Each structure stands twice: as C-alpha cells, then as structure tokens.
Amino acid sequence: MGVDDVPWGSVHVVVAGVGALLLAHVGGIIARTLRQPRVIGEIAVGLAAGPLLIALAGPEALDRVLPAHVLDALKLLTEAGLVLFLVGVAHGIHPKEARFTRRSVAWVSTGSFVVPLCGGALLACGLLLDGDPSLRGHATWPALVIYMATALSITAVPVLARLLEDLGLARTTSGNLALTAAVIQDIAGWLLLSVAVSLNTGSAGGTARTMAVFAAGAVGAMLLRWVLRGKAVCRLFEGRPLLTALLLGALALTAGLGSERLGLTAVFGAVLVGAAVPRGALLPWNGAVARVTRIGRRLVPLFFVTTGVTVLTKAMGATSWTLVLLVTVLGFVCKTGGGYAGARLGSQSRWESLRIGVLMDTRGLTELIVLSVGHSTGILTGPMYLALLIMAVVTTAITGPLLSAVSWGEARRAPVAERASSPSSPSAGSAG
C-alpha cells in the first residue's frame, strides 16, 4: 500500500487536525495570559504558523505538512464544525427578549455597513486617481469600487460569536444586537462580493445565481420552521434526543455546505437553520441545538488555524507602511463610527453604542477570506492585499482591549452620574 492510499491519507488528516487543535489551544492560552479573548490567539497562531514554518524549514515544508488533499479535507471538516456552532449562535439570538427592537437592528446594520461602504469607495477612488499600477492593478473601476467598499464593511460572524462567548457578552443587549446586525451584513457583504467578482470577469450569471440562492434559502427557512413547529413532528422526536440532534446536524450541514457551493458563505445556511428552529421549553429541539453546538464549538478553533495558516504565505510584494496606516485608520474609524452612530439612532445608550461600535469592527477571518477572493481574482494587488490584511488583524485584535476600556469608562462615570443626581449633592441642591 502506497503513501497516497486512503488509510495513510486519513492518518495524515487526523495528525494534521490534532496538531492544528493543539496549536489553537496554545494560542488561546497565550491570549488569555495577555488578557485577550482566546479566539484572538487562535487566529494569531494560524496566521503566524505558515510563514514561521517556511522561515525555519523552507518553502516546501508547508506543502509536506499540509499537502493539498490534507488541507482540503481539513477545510471540509472545519466548515462542518463552523456550521454546527453557528446553529446554536443563530438560535440564541432573541430580539424579542433583548432590550432592542427591529428599528435598533436596522440602524446598527445600516450605520456599520453604509459608512464603511463609503470609506471603501473613497479608498478605491483614491487608487483610481493615483494610477499606481502596483496599487491600482488591472481591475475594472466598478469592480474595484464595489470590492473596496465591501472589504471595509465586513464583520466576521464566527469570530464575533466566539468573542462574545469568551467575554461573556453573548446574552447582553450589545452582544445580541451586534451579532444580529453582523449576520445581516455578512449576507449583504457576500452578495456585494459576488457582484464585484462578476463585474471584474464580465459575467453577470454569478450574481443572479447568488440572489436566487438567497431567496430560496429564506423561503426554505420559513417552511422548515413551519414543519418543526407541527405537533406531529414534535411528538415524533420527543424522547429521542440523539436522533433529533443527528437530524438537526444533517439539516445544518446540508444547508451550510450547500449554500457555500452555490455561491454564498456557509454562515448563511447555518444561520437560516438556527433561526428556523422553534424555541420553547416543551419542544424537543432545544437539547438537540445544544448537542450540535457543543460539537461545533470543539471544531471552531480548527477553522481559525487551518484558514489562517495559508493566508500570509501568498506572494504579496512590497507595500508602503503609510498605506497600511491609512487603510487601518480608515477601516477602524468607519466601522466603529458607523456602528456607534447606528446604535445611537437606534435608541441605545452612549456606552452600549460604544460597545456595539467596537464589536462591529471585528473582521476576523471572514475578512481574510474576502481578501483571498479579491487577490485570487485579480481585483487586489499584492501591496493592497497586505495593507487590508493587516487592517483586518489589527482591528480584530484591539476589540478585546477596547471593550475593556469602554467597561472601565462606564464604571468610572457611573458613580459620578449617581452623585450628580443625588438629592444631597451640591448640583442637585442648586438645581432645586
């Protein structure tokens, strides 16, 4: 039996997967030591692993450790874990139980999407006017403008969900509101990305197919919710927790991986299934969602490492640190400012709005995937790819410290506000 036969290939996949999980665990420990969320460490070690391996053992080392067939198998496994995890995330979003309304979601989604869209469009226009081929590339101007706008407006649902869980914000108003808005933006972002790629290649078929998949998925989710709420179906699965979990997992994997193959991200299908599952103490689905989510949560670190490990190994050319600084500041200001403005217009308090604005700046690996698409299709040049990549990593990494700073500021201002409103305070007395 040769080395390329299936059993050996399976052993290689298992060893590589275990190694990636151990690497993610080490990154998580380092992150917690530095008072960062674990997910930041998992992303960081994934990004650093590829270049470090190449520096120590040469360019061929990465291909030996992660040959194409092993990397493909790991990516399939990690996508499955991500889908299962996001079922529970979507099922846990309860706008009716949180202290926000559809109006709040609409404003946050709009503010944190439209303002970065405008910033990205301005960046693209600057590249077009500059005319430097190393930055401008050869993309068509509509594709470049739409792509840059999309790249600056992304919020990563998987990373944000893990971040909220690590920080204990998953059930808070700001956490629920930010995650709901991020799901909406993720769908809009992938639609715009397909438009940009279609315009650059001169084909409109991809955009039309993406819109059709989106519409079909929404209808399918409504039908699934109607079926799962039926008394006959509930009685059928009552008392069968393992069978119920297997069915739910199969539905989620079919929807998630199917939607990705049809032009959208796996996040779309997973969120649809999670949102479609009915809630209620007497329904058999809550336990199944918990089982499925636990399995996915254990595999999510593998997603961060295997996706990040190849990102920095691409040829990117030289880039200007002035450009990197400009792109990073523009991305941070537009995304955080847009999220804050949207939350304020959605009737959230100043501190909740600040928290939401910071959370919406979590770009994570979704942004890196978007950048990889732009680079592989020729929309992005090497220097622009690197500048946007650094922006994505920096804005994600500073989310934890900025949230801590917001909480510290809120706690420090609270006693001042209480003293100012106290009847015995001088200001209160003079006001009377």
Residue 223 covered by a domain? yes
Residue 429 covered by a domain? no
Q: Which residue has the tokens 């070690």?
A: 45
Residue 423 covered by a domain? no
Instruction: Give me the domain span that covers residue 268.
Output: 6-416
Taking the chain (432 residues) in runs of 10, the rounded mean pLDDT of each run is: 48 81 84 76 76 73 76 81 80 56 83 88 81 73 86 83 79 83 80 78 65 80 85 80 86 84 73 80 75 83 69 58 88 92 89 91 78 79 82 85 86 61 44 34
pTM of the model: 0.68
Give the model's pLDDT for residue 341.
93
Which tokens sit at 417? 């506000």
Provide the CB-side half-sphere exposure for 294 (13 A, CA).
Answer: 7
Neighbours of 228 (CB within 10 A): 19
Q: Tell me if residue 265 falls in helix, strand or coil.
A: coil
Output the domain CATH number for residue 318.
1.20.1530.20
d(CA 287, CA 292): 9
Q: Are 272 and 87 in contact (CB under 8 A)?
A: no
Give the model's pLDDT for residue 429.
41
- How many helices (H) and strands (E) in the chain? 20, 0
Give the model's pLDDT for residue 311.
59
Give the model's pLDDT for residue 1.
39
For the stretch 232-247, pLDDT in tens is 888 888 778 888 888 8
Q: Are 150 and 222 in contact (CB under 8 A)?
A: no
Angle between helix 321-345 and 350-359 (nearest 10) = 140
- In the chain, the number of structural domains is 1
Which tokens sit at 30? 């380092």
Residue 427 covered by a domain? no
* Alpha carbon distances (Å) from 206 to 170, 194, 263: 35, 7, 7
Residue 422 covered by a domain? no
For the stretch 363-386, pLDDT in tens is 876 787 788 778 777 888 878 888
Q: Residue 412, exposed/middle/buried by CB under 10 A (0-12, 13-18, 19+)? A: exposed
Q: What's the distance, CA 136 to chain centroid?
A: 27
Average pLDDT, the chain: 77
Which tokens sit at 226? 């109607």
For the stretch 84-105, pLDDT in tens is 887 877 776 655 544 556 788 8
Q: Are 155 and 362 in contact (CB under 8 A)?
A: yes
Residue 426 covered by a domain? no
Give the model's pLDDT for residue 282.
60
Residue 424 covered by a domain? no
Q: Are 343 and 356 in contact (CB under 8 A)?
A: yes
For the stretch 136-159, pLDDT in tens is 777 788 888 888 888 888 887 777
Q: Which residue has the tokens 């690996």?
A: 365
Give the model's pLDDT for residue 357.
92
Give the model's pLDDT for residue 232.
83
For residue 159, which of 180, 189, 179, 141 has the smallest C-alpha distance? Answer: 179
